């Protein structure tokens, strides 16, 4: 028996966790995600609870900490069931502010599906988090094909420890994710699990031509196809996405501008809020409303983004069409 298998067998929650993990997998597959059997196997076998030995749940008083070592068996059961709930988990809170989390599993599944990975592909993950997403990638592709980067040494050390406990050993690097990881390039895929103000230009030359970059941008997920070191382009996915911002990458487009006098059904529309966030600073909110109405409430997939020659912009329907808005490129980040 290998050392990794032995470590997993010493997990006192292995039996109870298998039941709730199977239930989570059923919930995810019921949404239509994980059609690839290899991804289903990853979600079935990677023990998420080892990556969240404690987490925080929001209360009226702030945050309540649940953890695996609680002396109260009912609270331990709450912790375990919460670890396999289909929702995000707050894993690091500083001065009352969320700084790191474990993403909603069904969202992770949709993002991994969208990557269209194949055997032999190498993947760069920006934002190590708990290490759970890197473990899923390592299960699918093998340890040597996965690199995960985070700016915070406490986060990378914790992720590395969790990965080792679960029997996975991808490369974990402490560094500025906005600059990628040139020492491990080239990559076939880049996936960010933190919100961005724009797509760092430095990621493109680290991708093989034809590679994909998937990143949270403006409360959505942009999927770019890399043509070469200077050009990438693609559309937003259907699903909304809210992530902790990339540290060191500048302010992100997550705040929704306040607009008075809007009909309730418009102000409450998630897709209209996406448009407001995407065009913040470039398009007056009332102009955005006019566009929204004129274009028959466009779905998120009609929007896209282009990165080319040091410039980048978002657009509706056509990169060279009449509706285009520059995206922020903060200082020298990613250069």
Q: Which residues are catalytic?
A: 100
Of all helices (H) and strands (E), which one includes residue 208? Answer: strand 207-217
Residues 78 and 64: their CA atoms lie apart, in Å, by 12
Of all helices (H) and strands (E), which one includes residue 84? Answer: none
- For residue 254, say if its preceding peptide bond is cis, omega within 30 degrees of 0: no
Q: How far is CA 41 from CA 7, 44, 45, 210, in A?
A: 20, 5, 6, 27
The token pair at 89 is 């988990």
CB of 256 closer than 8 Å to CB of 267: no
Residues 93 and 96: their CA atoms lie apart, in Å, by 6
Q: Which residues lie closer than 8 Å to 231 by C-beta, 6 or more apart?
A: 204, 306, 307, 308, 309
Residues 46 and 143: their CA atoms lie apart, in Å, by 13
């Amino acid at each position: 028996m290998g050392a990794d298998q032995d470590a997993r067998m010493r997990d006192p929650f292995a039996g109870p966790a298998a039941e709730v993990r199977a239930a989570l997998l059923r919930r995810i597959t019921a949404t239509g995600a994980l059609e690839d059997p290899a991804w289903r196997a990853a979600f079935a076998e990677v023990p998420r609870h080892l990556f969240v030995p404690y987490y925080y749940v929001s209360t009226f008083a702030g945050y309540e900490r649940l953890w695996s070592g609680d002396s109260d068996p009912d609270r331990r059961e709450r912790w375990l069931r919460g670890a396999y709930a289909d929702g995000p988990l707050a894993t690091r809170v500083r001065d009352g502010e969320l700084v790191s989390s474990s993403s909603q599993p069904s969202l992770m599944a949709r993002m991994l599906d969208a990557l269209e990975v194949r055997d032999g592909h190498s993947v760069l993950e920006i934002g190590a988090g708990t290490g759970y997403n890197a473990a899923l990638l390592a299960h699918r592709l093998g340890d040597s094909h996965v690199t995960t980067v985070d700016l915070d040494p406490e986060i990378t050390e914790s992720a590395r420890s969790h990965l080792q406990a679960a029997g996975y050993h991808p490369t974990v690097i402490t560094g500025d994710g906005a600059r990628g990881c040139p020492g491990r390039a080239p990559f076939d895929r880049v996936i960010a699990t933190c919100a961005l103000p724009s797509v760092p230009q430095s990621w493109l030359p680290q991708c093989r031509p034809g590679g994909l970059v998937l990143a949270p941008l403006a409360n959505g997920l942009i999927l770019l196809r890399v043509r070469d070191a200077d050009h990438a382009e693609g559309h937003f996915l259907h699903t909304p996405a809210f992530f902790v911002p990339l540290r060191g990458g500048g302010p992100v487009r997550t705040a929704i501008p306040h607009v008075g006098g809007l009909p309730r059904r418009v102000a409450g529309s998630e897709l209209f809020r996406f448009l407001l966030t995407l065009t913040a600073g470039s398009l007056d909110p009332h102009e955005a409303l006019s566009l929204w109405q004129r274009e028959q409430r466009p779905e998120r997939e009609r929007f896209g983004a282009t990165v080319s020659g040091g410039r980048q912009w978002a657009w509706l329907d056509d990169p060279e069409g009449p509706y285009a808005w520059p995206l922020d490129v903060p200082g020298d980040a990613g250069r």
